[in-house]
Structure 1
Amino acid sequence: MDVLIVEDDDAMASALDAAVVSAGHMASRVARGADALLEHRRFEVILLDLGLPDMDGLDVLRKLRQVTTVPILILTARDDERSVVLGLRSGADDYLVKPVKLVELLARIEAVTRRAGRSKDIRQRNIVLGELQVDVERRVAAIGPQVLPLTATEFDLLALLASHAGSVVTREQILDALWGDAFLASSRSLDVHLTGLRAKLKMPGFIINIRGVGYRVEADSA
């Protein structure tokens, strides 16, 4: 696996590089956001710092999400709620606060790459629930003629729930299917992506919260 490390701190970059290589992967490092935007195409995972010298990491993330769906993990010292929510809603697959344990980092990398691999294996078909159409092969969701501006994770979440319309999907099933590990993945990440999905769907009552269990899509309300 080829990993791109976007980190301006030399010591941190060296530690990340050593950890990635020790796990049998290949790593390359850039220190600026502009370089990440130029070099991202040949990598399978991106580790992105937010405090870059030339541009804010969230801007880099948004630009990357316009051109690639590869897993992106944010590694940053910003631990405030607003930064976490902004990072996840902007398309990050995971958000880790420095200092991060390298063992946990490697586990998170494996988890998001499993999720990315599983999303490619989703049965390729169209899901139609009333006016909502989910084209799994083209990864496009629309309500009538209006295409929804979903992030990669929001689309995967919608496809999963819609494919089980009428049945309850537990939080653990969602975390396992989308992040690759129901216990490693962050429940907060799921909450943020679910909130973003609901806001873009603008379909009250479509995704029902089954308290303490999970969620159910109500096909009749579509």
Structure 2
Amino acid sequence: MTTAEQAPRPRILVVEDEAEIRRVVRLVLEGEGHEVFEADTIERGRIEAATRRPDLLVLDLGLPDGDGVALIQALRGWSALPIIVLSARSAEADKIAALDAGADDYLAKPFGAGELLARVRAQLRRHYRQTAEGATTIAFGAVSIDLARRTVQREGQALHLTPIEYKLLTLLATQPDRVLTHQQLLKAVWGPGHAQDTHYVRVHMANLRKKVEADPSMPAHLVTEAGIGYRFLP
């Protein structure tokens, strides 16, 4: 048997109260080779997450026994597993609340099977990179970040970043494919006293893009999630 054949299938927990949507999501994920478990309430989701130890969670927010955000908060107390919210709620406030609670990505219903699978692949890649013994260098485009030496190069030449620009870049680059909200970035870079100063992020991100993006007006790596925050695409 080959190494690829011996590799365990990714285990995905789907927490969704609508049976038909749950069935569709299961079929889509199993078609990609994943092992799928199901739950239809927050409480059942807690139990399944604790016993199955999935590699990823697909979560609806409108559940019979409460808001799915409560499950995100509960899991974040002991687990870093990737969480993709799959919800009919499409308002920015709902997305921000879920992401600030600890979700990694958000996909609104109705959804396409291809997009769901792409989001799942991206989050699993990020999860496996973080759980493996990682390298200290991140490369994207013409840019290379040496996390150990705290240096950044572009096309082999040293790139001068301000301390804030460096914090923003490394915060995003070490969590590829994850949406980070304005509030998460503000808290991590400027501290909890700046939760409303979203213009800080926009100004410094614009300056950072000028230094690391080939075309700052059409960024390929530091991508805006409109009204929510930013995502790093390696």
- Does the TM-score normalized on the shorter chain lie above 0.5? yes
Whether the 8 Å contact between 2:96 and 2:181 is mirrored in structure 1 is no
Aligned amino acid, residue 211 of structure 1: A
Identify the match of residue 9 of structure 1 among 18, 28, 48: 18
Q: Does 1:98 align with 2:89?
A: no
User: TM-score, length-normalised on structure 2?
Assistant: 0.63
Relative distance call for 1:191 and 1:12 in structure 2 (3 A) is same
Relative distance call for 1:173 and 1:107 in structure 2 (3 A) is farther
Whether the 8 Å contact between 2:57 and 2:82 is mirrored in structure 1 is yes
After superposition, the C-alpha distances for 1:178-202 in whole angstroms (9 at most, x for unaligned) are 234xxxx65xx45453134245465
Aligned amino acid, residue 208 of structure 2: V
Match of 1:179 in 2: 176
After superposition, the C-alpha distances for 1:124-165 in whole angstroms (9 at most, x for unaligned) are 8xxxxxxxxxxxxxxxxxxxxxxxxxxxxxxxxxxx7x9458
Tell me the CA shift for residue 99 of structure 1: 0.8
Tell me the CA shift for residue 79 of structure 1: 0.9
Q: SS where residue 92 of structure 1 aligns?
A: coil
Q: SS where residue 111 of structure 2 aligns?
A: coil
Relative distance call for 1:212 and 1:51 in structure 2 (3 A) is same
Whether the 8 Å contact between 2:14 and 2:22 is mirrored in structure 1 is yes
Instruction: Report the number of matched residues.
Output: 174
Q: SS where residue 178 of structure 1 aligns?
A: coil
Q: SS where residue 204 of structure 2 aligns?
A: strand
Identify the match of residue 45 of structure 2 among 11, 36, 41: 36
Aligned amino acid, residue 209 of structure 1: H
Tell me the CA shift for residue 11 of structure 1: 0.7
After superposition, the C-alpha distances for 1:45-79 in whole angstroms (9 at most, x for unaligned) are 00010000012101111111112110011110111
Tell me the CA shift for residue 36 of structure 1: 0.7
Distance 1:30 1:210 in 2: 40
Match of 1:86 in 2: 97
- RMSD between aligned alpha carbons? 3.5
Tell me the CA shift for residue 122 of structure 1: 3.5
Distance 1:173 1:100 in 2: 31
